[in-house]
Amino acid sequence: MRAVELTRTTKETEIRICLNPADRDLTIDTGIGFFDHMLHALLFYAGLGGTVICRGDLQVDGHHSVEDTGIVLGMALKEALGDKIGIRRFAHAYVPMDESLEFCALDVSGRPYLVMDAPMPQPMIGDYDSCLTKEFMRAFAMNSGITLHLRCEYGENAHHITEGLFKALGLALKSACEVISDQVTSTKGALA
């Protein structure tokens, strides 16, 4: 995995993301405190350092900032992985967060897909709409080229459920992106 820097500017958001696998320092500022906390957890457990800066139309709500950050972070990960030669490719992780238990399984295949089964008991977590977790995960999966399955096994607190999902994704990504050989991990000899 190599270091990558991407920017994306629209009428709704301006985003700059730097991923650096050689550095564990993280600087995250999206203007949404809980979302910053989730991105920090995701990147920390994925073993990635870097910067995520988003300036969005928060006077509307957090939707554009969260979704667009998922788009750019997914694009950055895809670029950082390059040809994906030798990566483990498949991985999964369980994360318990107090009363809740979350599961993530993924395939860094180049074929994006999202299946997410994680009802949120509370609609808001601070100033973060809990429904935006699925919007982020969809944008991230589609733009990184990852087949991503996420599930809350059980839980009563949307904060715990969301945090467990982001951490499980980070742990699974770290494992899936580990280089384990000098061959493409595919029976057909190529990843889509």
pLDDT of 189 higher than 80: no
User: Residue 182's pLDDT band (boundaries 50, 70, 90)?
Assistant: confident
Biggest alpha carbon–alpha carbon distance for the chain = 49
Q: Is residue 189 part of a domain?
A: no
If DSSP codes are grouped into helix, strand and coil, which group holds residue 80?
A: helix
Average pLDDT taken over every residue of the chain: 93
Q: Taking a C-beta distance cutoff of 8 angstroms, is the pair 142, 83 a contact?
A: no
pLDDT in tens, 60-88: 899 999 999 999 999 999 999 988 888 88
pLDDT of 187 higher than 60: no
- Position 185 scores a pLDDT of 61
Q: Which residues contact 78 (CB under 8 A, 6 or more apart)?
A: 143, 144, 145
Q: Considering only CA atoms, which of 158, 136, 145, 26 is closest in space to residue 82? A: 145
Q: Is residue 188 part of a domain?
A: no
- Position 2 scores a pLDDT of 86
Q: Is residue 183 part of a domain?
A: no
Instruction: Name the residue range of residue 130's domain.
Output: 4-176
Q: How many CB atoms lie within 10 A of CB 70?
A: 23
**Average pLDDT for 28-39:** 97
**Average pLDDT for 131-145:** 98
Q: Is residue 124 part of a domain?
A: yes
CATH number, domain of 126, equals 3.30.230.40
pLDDT in tens, 46-65: 999 999 999 999 898 999 99
- Position 19 scores a pLDDT of 94
Q: Is residue 45 part of a domain?
A: yes
Structural domain count, the chain: 1
pLDDT in tens, 1-18: 789 999 999 999 999 999
Q: Is residue 182 part of a domain?
A: no
Instruction: Please tell me the pTM assigned to this model.
Output: 0.94
Q: Is residue 187 part of a domain?
A: no
Q: Is residue 190 part of a domain?
A: no
- Percentage of the residues of the chain whose pLDDT score is greater than 70: 95
- Position 191 scores a pLDDT of 64
**Average pLDDT for 39-44:** 97
Whole-Å CA distances, 130 to 51, 144, 161, 165: 23, 22, 10, 12
- Position 186 scores a pLDDT of 62
Q: Taking a C-beta distance cutoff of 8 angstroms, is the pair 122, 88 a contact?
A: no
- Position 37 scores a pLDDT of 97
Q: Taking a C-beta distance cutoff of 8 angstroms, is the pair 91, 47 a contact?
A: no
